[in-house]
Structure 1
Amino acid sequence: MTDAGTYLGQGWDSTATLVDERWVERRPKRAEVEVYLRRELTVMPWLAPLLPLPVPVLRLVSADPFVVRHELVPGGELETLNAVQGKQLGEFLLALHAVAVADAVAHGVGPAPVPLDRFRAEVLPLVPDQAGLLDAVAAAPLDTLVHGDLGPEHVLGRDGVLTGVIDFGDVHVGDAAIDLAWALHSTPPEFADALAATYGVTAELRERSLLWHRIGPWYEVLFGNDNGDPEMAESGLTGIRNRSSWF
């Protein structure tokens, strides 16, 4: 018998429930999110065998209401980060970024344009000294298959090693530096240094990764605006101001 499931939590786009202690079921929170989950249904069975860590491979459970599931990826959110894990993530990103873009496109993956017009209209008037950041992001190369939302909530581990990477809803053809933003700029030096050495991070790539790290809170402002959540929008503005001092 299938149990009713245990609520695992929710992100910006979907909710997750653990069923039978094995399956993670995901449901979109908004109609447009279904498009991203359908893309994962196509992409992940092809992509998973190319990667050195476990990732979710989605299966369709129901078309109406739309529900997908994947086997539970082991591990949990990391409480500490070490050099071994940094090396593992560097190896993971090397494999992901080496995937041929033409193959990704053939599986339905395309670019994910940065909402620069909205940033300029809704956010820049509140932080007018940040115009140069938007210009720099607009010039970034878009030539690599990327996870697109790599952060501590999507990198899992146990007993001091990584056990998987989850949530490929933002997978797209973009700038490789976006996947290095959190890993190089919000992690302990031993983790970041091991990742950089394994991946072969250049000075130019590190500089671009900082641009993407700084742009992250801009999305938080837009999400707060879209959902009538002024506290989230204000949190995003605080993040923009804090991260601007790193440049």
Structure 2
Amino acid sequence: MTYLGEGWDTTAVLVAGHWVERRPRRPAVEPQLRRETVVMPWLAPRLPLPVPIPVIASGNPLVVRHELVPGDEVTTPTATQGRQLGEFLRALHAAPVAEAGRRGVGPAALPVQRFREEVLPHAPGGEGLLAALGGLPADTLVHGDIGPEHVLGRDGVLTGVIDFGDLHVGDAAVDLAWALHSAPPEFADAVASAYGVTDELRERALVWHRLGPWHEVLHGNDVGDRRMAEVGLAGVLRRLRDGVSPR
């Protein structure tokens, strides 16, 4: 058994070099893990890249297990990988929302009130960003946390996408935030071309990109990690100050 690490919601270990076992870090995460065991067997065949298909290995305490998705975190994404990600997201976003709903996937409420209370007092100019959230659509099945740590690659190609714990019905642009506004230009352009990104979709993705560090502040507060909250706030201020994509 090899310790793989922990995210905000789960810890993961590798068993026998082949199986990934994940455990919730707190009771509130258990329904999320159980939902993955229901929705991922339905969703995986629709997607052009490997994804985890977990099953329940233990009910008490809860442990879910899936085959290891090969690859490493994408640190220097290429145009080829951008095209692959664009095609992956296009397929994911085409999945029927009604069928996902029957498997327990619904909208995810944003903690806007907590943003106002815990972040906004320290983030002059952030009110406009929060106001923009009210006009965003919520009509697409989205991964909800697409970033380099969840997009895996090897030998210049993508090998899989992991961590579907935040899967929900929301704005398609949330899955494009990192790719369009934090990744290298050649990767971002390839994603945009393969997906068919419009100017309006790019602007919505920028809203989500700017909102990302706000969640880090709240999580730092929740777990008592002052350093995480401070780093998150620095990101909030930086992205508000820049106001546009770093591209």
**How does the TM-score come out when normalised to structure 2?**
0.97
Q: Which residue of 1 aligns with 2:226?
A: 230
Q: Which residue of 2 aligns with 1:64?
A: 60
**How does the TM-score come out when normalised to structure 1?**
0.97
Which whole-Å CA distance do the structure 2 matches of 1:88 and 1:229 have between them? 36
Summarize deviations over 1:109-143 as a string: whole Å, max 9, x none.
00001110110111111113110000101221000
Q: Which residue of 1 aligns with 2:108?
A: 112
The answer to which of 121-130 and 198-207 deviates more is 121-130
Q: Confirm or deny: 8 A CA contact 2:73 2:149 kept in the other structure.
A: yes
Which whole-Å CA distance do the structure 2 matches of 1:151 and 1:45 have between them? 22
Q: Which residue of 2 aligns with 1:42?
A: 38
The CA deviation at 1:106 is: 1.0
Which whole-Å CA distance do the structure 2 matches of 1:190 and 1:226 have between them? 37
Which whole-Å CA distance do the structure 1 matches of 2:134 and 2:115 have between them? 12
Summarize deviations over 1:37-79 as a string: whole Å, max 9, x none.
0110111000000000000000101011110010000111113
- What code does the residue aligned with 2:121 have? P
Q: Which residue of 2 aligns with 1:175?
A: 171
- What code does the residue aligned with 2:100 have? A
Q: Confirm or deny: 8 A CA contact 2:75 2:148 kept in the other structure.
A: no
Which whole-Å CA distance do the structure 2 matches of 1:173 and 1:79 have between them? 28
Q: Confirm or deny: 8 A CA contact 2:48 2:91 kept in the other structure.
A: yes
Secondary structure in structure 2 of the residue aligned to 1:113: coil
Q: Which residue of 1 aligns with 2:2?
A: 6
Secondary structure in structure 2 of the residue aligned to 1:8: strand
Secondary structure in structure 2 of the residue aligned to 1:235: helix
Q: Which residue of 2 aligns with 1:135?
A: 131
The CA deviation at 1:8 is: 0.6
Name the % identity: 68
- What code does the residue aligned with 1:186 have? S
Q: Which residue of 2 aligns with 1:246?
A: 243
Equivalent of 2:18 in 22, 26, 47: 22
- What code does the residue aligned with 2:38 have? T
Runs of 4+ deviating beyond 3 Å:
none
Secondary structure in structure 2 of the residue aligned to 1:140: coil
Structure 2, unaligned runs of 5 or more: none
Count residues in correspondence. Answer: 243
Secondary structure in structure 2 of the residue aligned to 1:32: helix
Q: Kindly indicate whether residue 192 of structure 2 is the aligned counterpart of residue 196 of structure 1.
A: yes
- What code does the residue aligned with 2:116 have? R
Which whole-Å CA distance do the structure 2 matches of 1:246 and 1:8 have between them? 36
